Amino acid sequence: ELVYDFLHRIQDWPERLPHIDAVDVRQDAPGVQITAVDTSAAPDGLTRTTRGVRLCFPAAARIVYKELLTPAPIAAHTGEWSLTPDGDGVRVVCAQQVLLHDPHTPHNRQDRQDRWDPGAAGGLAETRRQVRTRLGHASTRTLHLAGWRARTAVRRLR
């Protein structure tokens, strides 16, 4: 429950995760979170904003999400946090799917916060590696801090 609570309470992430600067979350219906997240995990030091929707299933210990506004070079980004009890505690998996913009197809979004030149980054293979590394590091940091918080939580005795 403690790990799920950490992942679910996205509004607390700016105080809990070093790569999150700000979060705005609206919950119009139980289990549905509409989010805007400012992240500064990029190597260039720029803050990037993503907007998305998260569907939270506490009974199934799952949170699935879809980003609706993504930074370049990402065209689409979905993911899932899933928690499964095991003999020693809980196993947490973060699975993500990312679609990169085709560098040969112009994408003309007025709300794009940054520009992407696939040639400057060493081509599509290097861009894929950078995106995978950046998202992987952010997810790993989140999982480590969620685990630390669960292990160090003060339990109330009744």
Q: What is the pLDDT of residues 50-81, one digit of tens each?
A: 999 999 999 999 999 999 999 888 999 999 99
- Phi, psi (5° rounding) for residue 46? -80, 145
- pLDDT computed for residue 142 by the predictor: 93
Do residues 79 and 64 touch, judged by C-beta distance below 8 A?
yes
Q: How confident is the model at residue 20 (pLDDT cuts 50, 70, 90)?
A: very high
Which pLDDT belongs to residue 108?
Answer: 47
The alpha carbon of 70 is separated from its chain's Cα centroid by a whole number of angstroms, namely: 11
pLDDT of residue 126: 87
Per DSSP, 59 falls in state G
Query: Which backbone phi and psi does 59 adopt, to 5 degrees?
Result: -65, -30
Lowest mean pLDDT among 26-40, 94-108, 134-148: 94-108
Residue 74 · residue 101 · CB < 8 Å = yes
Q: Taking residues 25-32, report their average pLDDT.
A: 94
Give pLDDT, residue 113. Answer: 46
d(CA 26, CA 16): 19
Cα distance between residue 36 and residue 26, in whole Å? 9
Instruction: Give the residue, 105 or 99, on which the prediction is more confident.
Output: 99
Nearest-angstrom CA–CA distance, 96 and 80: 6
Instruction: Give the span between the Cα atoms of 24 and 15, in whole angstroms.
Output: 13
List all residues 6 or more positions away from 5 whose beta carbon is below 8 Å from its beta carbon: none
Strand partners, 74: 100
Average pLDDT, the chain: 85
Coil, helix or strand at residue 39: strand
What's the distance, CA 134 to chain centroid? Answer: 10
pLDDT for the residue 150: 86
What is the per-residue pLDDT across 110-152, written as a single tens digit (0 to 9) for each?
Answer: 444 455 555 555 678 888 998 999 899 999 999 999 989 888 8
Residue 23 has pLDDT above 80, yes or no: yes
- Structural domains of the chain sorted by starting position, each given as residue range(s) with its CATH number in brackets: 2-152 (3.30.530.20)
Cβ atoms of residues 23 and 8 within 8 Å: no
- The mean pLDDT of 76-101, rounded to a whole number, is 92
